[in-house]
Amino acid sequence: MSKIRIGIVGHGNIGRGVERAITQNPDTELVAVFTRRQPGSIQLLTPQAAVKSIADAKEYQDKIDVMILCGGSATDLPEQGPHFATMFNTVDSYDTHARIPEYCARIDAAAKAAGKTSVISVGWDPGLFSMLRMLSGAMLPEGKDYTFWGKGVSQGHSDAIRRVKGVKNGIQYTIPIESAVDSVRRGDSPQLSTREKHLRECFVVAEPEADQEQISQAIKNMPNYFADYDTIIHFINEAELKQNHSQMPHGGFVFRTGATGTGNENQHIIEFSLKLDSNPEFTANVMVAYARAAYRMNQEGICGAKTVFDVPLSYLSARSNLDLIKDLL
């Protein structure tokens, strides 16, 4: 059986994760990685795959079945998404939430015109968490949703810390407040403010001359990022930061609590949780499963932009439908 031929655009954390994920999925193979860097500067784990300049991708239209776009949502994907959708089936992890409808429309137009299939906003949130929110809402129409994130590194908040005057380096962990999670899990259906759901813990390396109290205040009062939360700040040195905070763990919880019965007397609690040692590697694994789905949908003539809500689950698995029914149903 011929394998699904994969290309990777961007060789950062997620791109490297996709390369590893392909080795776990024997029905896929890596054909090439496309980069804006000097191709010669990148060493792959996959000896038979090529490293090429991103500008050369167009020459691979007959050699690649699905292109996995591993760039960021801020500047890479808004440009690369619609561009690659004119040439390839694609999968991306676009996560700028407010702009997903607009992004989806642009990809849809490009992919449909080219007869290609693009699955957008894939990963765990957006992605698996979205699916669980949707599913559990359909199962319990009268209920309440809760999503908690963490414990994990928030890239956006870490960047925000590093922009504070006097900060040399730093990292931020989003931490779900255990008593709030427990209350939801017990079925209390609490009303929770932003401050009651998560706290923010920062590990900051200050410049030698900097005033730590001033840095703390600047972080804690930063609107949008920190002002609405309880924030804990630790000052550490660069060596400690490197040694203890170089991993990228993440995860979280999706809950729905709802009721049924003539007088809504029966309560039900649905919980989904992830504990991930490596956020980018898990995201990459999800993207490879959706690459399989994008390929199959395209083979069946289903074109345009799709989300996790549109893809039948069996398209994600390398196993046959009968196997799935026998073993997992």
| Contact set with a copy of itself (CB under 8 A) | 17, 20-21, 24-25, 45, 97, 100-101, 104, 121, 126, 128, 130-135, 137-142, 187, 260-262, 265-278, 281-282, 284-286, 289, 292, 307-314, 316-318, 321-322, 324-326, 328-329
Q: Which is nearer to a copy of itself, 50 or 302 (CB)?
A: 302
By beta-carbon proximity to a copy of itself, the closer residue of 141 and 208 is: 141
**Closer to a copy of itself at the Cβ: 231 or 285?**
285
Min separation Cβ 321 and a copy of itself, Å? 7
For residue 91, what are its two tokens? 């999968």
Strands of 198-206's sheet in order across: 152-153, 167-176, 198-206, 230-235
Give the strand pairing for 66-69 and 304-306.
unpaired
Q: Which is nearer to a copy of itself, 62 or 265 (CB)?
A: 265
**Shortest approach of a copy of itself to residue 329 CB, angstroms?**
5
Instruction: In angstroms, give the least distance from the CB of 195 to a copy of itself.
Output: 23
Tokens describing residue 278: 């490596």
> How crowded is residue 183: how many other Cβ atoms within 10 Å of its Cβ?
16
How many CB atoms within 10 Å of residue 209?
A: 6
Go through 284-295 and write b for each residue having 16 or more CB atoms within 10 A of its CB, e for each that does not.
bbbbbbbbbbbb
Query: Token match 């400690």: residue?
Result: 240
| Closest distance to a copy of itself from the beta carbon of 64 (Å) | 21
Minimum CB distance to a copy of itself, residue 185 (Å) = 8
- In this structure, the chain runs to a length of 329
